Amino acid sequence: MIALLVAVFTPALGAALLAVLPNLTLAGWLNVALAATSVGGAVTLAVEILNSGALTAHGFHIDAFNIYLVVLTAFIGLTTAIFSRPYMSHVCQSGRVSRTHMRLYHAMFQGFMFTMLVALTTNNLGVLWVAVEGATLATVLLVSLYRTPEAVEAAWKYFILCGVGIAQALFGTVLVYFAAQHALPDPSAGLTWTTLHAHAAQLHPTVMSIAFVFLLVGYGTKVGLVPLHNWLPDAHSEGPTPMSAVLSGLLLNIGLYAIVRLKMLTDGALAQGTNPHLAGQLMMGFGLLSFVVAGLFLHRQRDIKRMFSYSSIEHMGLMTFAFGIGGPLATFGALLHMLVHSLTKSAIFVTVGHATHVAGTQAIDHIRGLIRTQPAVGWGLLIGVVAISGFPPFGVFTSEFLLLSATMQYWPWLTPILLTGLVIAFAGLFRHLQPMVYGAAPIEQRAVRANMLPVALHLGLVLWLGLAIPGFLSRWLDQATQLIAGSHLL
């Protein structure tokens, strides 16, 4: 319990502290220290949960599914904080961000971590909504941090579209509560996930299916599912790069996490009905559409950060599709994919941040010869993209292979679409990547100070997961699979 409080509330404390701390150098280090404390809490909590099973207390509920996301979130928060310290002080020195805004940045970074950890650990669907909305509110001012017309426009779009989307999710939540009023012995516990899950079969199926549609649209906006994805490339490309890394690597996961939790309830309610897989089929449809459309859009991008945000949409679509298929194999694959995608994508964004500093622009056409100018950044980008495209021996290959096998098992005729989509996305990434990393470097291009430690760490982990998933982790993911799909894979 103490570990839980440390993991979740350290960032809240940090947000308050960093908002008033005037010394920016100290703030950068403190940001790292707070993130590290949170990781410590999360890991301790994970060990407790793995040894003694799920923990439900004081409005929190931790089981194998969310604890792995808590550890992942805290870990990527830490590596991004390590990256952001020199990066943001560099941005501050170049005069693009004032000192007040730097304080805002640090405070909101921690505030964002706090809302995400609350969203993951809470047992209450209402608090989940509040936390997800809170994550939007914490990041919206960071997207417009540079105050350029583009940044302000991106932030406005982000705010409005996510606000509208999330309002639909609240309506869905109200409907779930409405259904619970007539099914639960204690109606006031009608938003408690564990209680709802225990009584899922009594929930009214029609109300639950209407509610799920609203919830899917609402949280789907956060995941960036097509056609609700418009805010995502703008917000990811205009904000500071550390924000892009956490938005792509973590925030999208939270939306998907919420959808999966609610799918578990809806499946329970619909189990006896005429169409028990309605929720899954909706997710498959949205997921596959996002996967294919984002893959096609990859080809048309001219901004490097926009390109990788479309790649995020593509992968989130794939995961949504996989969770929609259900069954142990697809669920295990989707959980693994969530893990490796977050690690790889945040590593890529960190590298992209350095690459844009080297080239002085985000335009793909003007980023050339990275390997020649700064080999670490060039190779980092190349290896990151190789990993995210699903080449062996990286972890993304393993998870995509599992997802393909699951598709062949349950929906064989969808396999060609999936394979084509993967090839299209691969081609889209590489046609832009090749001239950026090879190619002739402009003469005046100089190397910058780059901290590649987070990248090396993330890509190393992804490589490790591709070669051999350690026993404890596979058992862990298997426990989560059991929770979601109802049966073990291993």
Partner 1 sequence: MTLMHLSLTEQSVFVLAALVLLSSFALLAQTRLLSAVHAFAWQGALVAAVTALMASAGDEPHLYLSAALTLTLKALLIPWMLHRLIRRLALERHVETVRRPAVITLAGAAIVVFCYWVVLPIARLELAATRNILAISLSVVLLGLLMMVARRQAVSQVIGFMSMENGLFLAAAAATGGMPLVVELGVAFDVLVAAVLFGVFFLQIRDSIDSLDVDRLNRLTETDTTTVPGTEARP
The residues that bridge with 303 in the sheet, in sequence order, are 363
* Binding characters for partner 1, 199-218, by CB under 8 A (x = yes): -----x-xx--x--------
Q: Which stretch binds partner 1 (CB under 8 A): 130-138, 312-320, 397-405, 462-470?
A: 130-138
129 lines the binding site for partner 1 (CB under 8 A): yes
Rounded CA gap, 311 and 233, in Å?
10
Rounded CA gap, 256 and 247, in Å?
13
At residue 77, what is the residue type? G
In the complex, what is the shortest distance from the CB of residue 190 to partner 1, in angstroms, rounded to a whole number? 8
Q: What backbone torsions phi and psi does residue 62 show, to the nearest 5 degrees? A: -120, 120
Q: For residue 51, what are the contacts with CB-CB under 8 A and spacing of at least 6?
A: none
In the complex, what is the shortest distance from the CB of residue 260 to partner 1, in angstroms, rounded to a whole number? 21
19 lines the binding site for partner 1 (CB under 8 A): no
CA distances from 95 to 98, 355, 358 (A): 7, 19, 17
Rounded CA gap, 249 and 344, in Å?
8
96 lines the binding site for partner 1 (CB under 8 A): yes
163 lines the binding site for partner 1 (CB under 8 A): yes
- H helix or E strand, kind and range, residue 160: helix 149-181
The residues that bridge with 122 in the sheet, in sequence order, are 60
CA distances from 360 to 12, 68, 106, 161, 433 (A): 35, 37, 24, 30, 17
In the complex, what is the shortest distance from the CB of residue 200 to partner 1, in angstroms, rounded to a whole number? 18
In the complex, what is the shortest distance from the CB of residue 1 to partner 1, in angstroms, rounded to a whole number? 19
Q: Give residues 99-128 in contact with partner 1 (rule: CB under 8 A).
A: 124, 126-127
22 lines the binding site for partner 1 (CB under 8 A): no
- Residue 59 or residue 227: which is nearer to partner 1 going by CB? 59
Rounded CA gap, 305 and 121, in Å?
30
149 lines the binding site for partner 1 (CB under 8 A): yes
At residue 48, what is the residue type? E
Q: Quick one: CA torsion of 261, 267, 270, 275, rounded to 10 degrees?
A: 130
Under DSSP, the state recorded for 394 is S
With CA atoms as reference, report the closest residue to 234 among 244, 225, 242: 244
170 lines the binding site for partner 1 (CB under 8 A): yes
Residue 412, judged by CB atoms within 10 A of its CB (0-12, 13-18, 19+), counts as: exposed
Rounded CA gap, 300 and 101, in Å?
33
Q: Give residues 325-384 in contact with partner 1 (rule: CB under 8 A).
A: 356-357, 360-363, 365-366
Residue from the set 182, 434, 467, 486 that interacts with partner 1 by CB under 8 A: 182
* Binding characters for partner 1, 55-84, by CB under 8 A (x = yes): ----x-------------------------
Residue from the set 21, 50, 54, 141 that interacts with partner 1 by CB under 8 A: 141
Rounded CA gap, 330 and 399, in Å?
9
In the complex, what is the shortest distance from the CB of residue 312 to partner 1, in angstroms, rounded to a whole number? 16
Q: What backbone torsions phi and psi does residue 192 show, to the nearest 5 degrees? A: -75, 120
Rounded CA gap, 340 and 394, in Å?
9
In the complex, what is the shortest distance from the CB of residue 306 to partner 1, in angstroms, rounded to a whole number? 8
| Number of residues this chain uses to bind partner 1 (CB under 8 A) | 69
* Binding characters for partner 1, 385-424, by CB under 8 A (x = yes): ----------------------------------------
In the complex, what is the shortest distance from the CB of residue 39 to partner 1, in angstroms, rounded to a whole number? 26
Do 319 and 413 touch, CB atoms closer than 8 A? Answer: no
In the complex, what is the shortest distance from the CB of residue 428 to partner 1, in angstroms, rounded to a whole number? 14
155 lines the binding site for partner 1 (CB under 8 A): yes
In the complex, what is the shortest distance from the CB of residue 360 to partner 1, in angstroms, rounded to a whole number? 3
271 lines the binding site for partner 1 (CB under 8 A): no
With CA atoms as reference, report the closest residue to 351 among 384, 315, 310, 389: 384
The residues that bridge with 55 in the sheet, in sequence order, are 62
Which residue in this structure is represented by tokens 């609350």?
118
Q: What backbone torsions phi and psi does residue 57 show, to the nearest 5 degrees? A: -160, 145
Rounded CA gap, 384 and 72, in Å?
18
314 lines the binding site for partner 1 (CB under 8 A): no
Residue from the set 106, 157, 199, 315 that interacts with partner 1 by CB under 8 A: 157
160 lines the binding site for partner 1 (CB under 8 A): yes
**Residue 161, Cα to own-chain centre: how many angstroms?**
18
What is the Cα Rg of the chain in Å?
21
In the complex, what is the shortest distance from the CB of residue 359 to partner 1, in angstroms, rounded to a whole number? 8
Q: Which stretch binds partner 1 (CB under 8 A): 156-164, 278-286, 384-392, 454-462?
A: 156-164
90 lines the binding site for partner 1 (CB under 8 A): yes
In the complex, what is the shortest distance from the CB of residue 441 to partner 1, in angstroms, rounded to a whole number? 14
181 lines the binding site for partner 1 (CB under 8 A): yes
Rounded CA gap, 337 and 331, in Å?
10
* Binding characters for partner 1, 422-441, by CB under 8 A (x = yes): --------------------
Binding interface with partner 1 (CB under 8 A) = 59, 90-91, 94-96, 124, 126-127, 129-130, 133-134, 137, 140-141, 144, 146-157, 159-160, 163-164, 167-168, 170-171, 174, 177-178, 181-182, 187-188, 190-191, 204, 206-207, 210, 234, 237-238, 241, 297, 300, 302-303, 305, 356-357, 360-363, 365-366, 446, 448
